[in-house]
A and B are shown apart, each in its own frame.
Chain A
């Protein structure tokens, strides 16, 4: 199952185990931008979460337990800032179900940059005050997409450790379950600042962590492609043989910590696929080398953009890899990127793709 968020609603694609023929459902929430979706299987659920945001009526968190036939629509907005914060929700950027051991916990990353947590399966939500009141917040700068908290990584071993990423404040880590946060960006460049290696302020686009080897992380930066072998404490440049180290998304293999996929883009200004060729790059040696995976992808006048949450992998073997573009195309590979097929075209601009086995 693919959960596809676009600028004008959400779509759901379903296929059998062969993952060749996909049935498209939707649009759900037509007209609303859907930056975040998630599939929650904890405690026997089959719940789809979505964060639609209407230009007119604002945004909130909605869910479906019947694969999109019906959706909750709470009278009161569930994810919203307390009055004392003086802030108003602009966008839900990320929905992250908690660990298996905490089946009623859900986190949301939002704009303006903040994290909300629910401990009762989404009924009530609380702003993380530690991050909201962080003394460095006044110096955070908004990226092109706004001051958004777009990535939440729950450490697969350390139950108290959560890493978040904000554009453009960089990454912050908590080791006490969210009470205190510290910046964690050592080695990550900020090309757009006079100090290229500040403590914080980097424009991190996406970060992923291996579940098998939690020390291993990959990062696609606003200029810069990085690997960490110490849970993100330090980062090493691994832009070896890619046409550009600019890009938005990065995905990691669910079992092989040396394998990841990216979609490089050309330059800060153009932000389209280099040379008009739509190429996914894959490493199988932890970034020592990257190979272009192009079979089945357009290589002529394909000026595409793949955004930070629009690349996803499933948990099957071989791994399925999927991505959507701002031109409304959706591509998939059932063989870890060796070959691709177009799953959908003519969608509204795709901003998020999540893959799940239902």
Chain B
């Protein structure tokens, strides 16, 4: 089973229009998994991470339903068949 990335609408310009990107590979952490995604969809990287390598303040990443903000951030563990959802936070005005 591959890793499954769920891509938000704003980033589909960089995933060839795909709402899901499935990638085979070994990733121990969220950071590892995202590195795989950047290889497939390089344009998504700078939209999700700052140049400090941190997840942008108003972006949430869920791994198998858990917000990684509370489970270790980019160091949070993933399985090789995890579902990783990138979603803009409910912020604005």
- A residues at B contact (CB < 8 Å): 31, 54-58, 60, 73-77, 80-83, 86-89
Contact = CB atoms under 8 A, between A and B. Distances in A.
Contacts of A55: 58, 91-92
B88 interface: yes
A75 B50 contact: no
A74 B11 CA distance: 12
A88 B92 CA distance: 20
A56 B88 contact: yes
B64 interface: no
Interface in B24-77: 42-43, 45-48, 50-54, 56, 58-59
Interface residues on B, range: 20 to 34
B51 to A, nearest CB: 4
Nearest to B91: A55
A76 B49 CA distance: 11
B16 interface: no
B62 to A, nearest CB: 15
Majority SS of interface residues in chain A?
loop
A83 B51 contact: yes
Contacts, number: 54
A60 B50 CA distance: 12
Given A56-B88, A58-B56, A88-B51, A76 B13 contact: no
Contacts of B54: 88
Contact of A75 (B43, B59, B88): B43
A253 B48 CA distance: 43
Between A58, A60, A87, A89, the greatest number of chain B beta carbons within 10 A of the residue's beta carbon is seen for A58
B1 interface: no
A58 to B, nearest CB: 6
A56 B58 contact: yes
Contacts of B50: 58, 88-89
Nearest to B14: A75
A209 to B, nearest CB: 32
B45 to A, nearest CB: 8
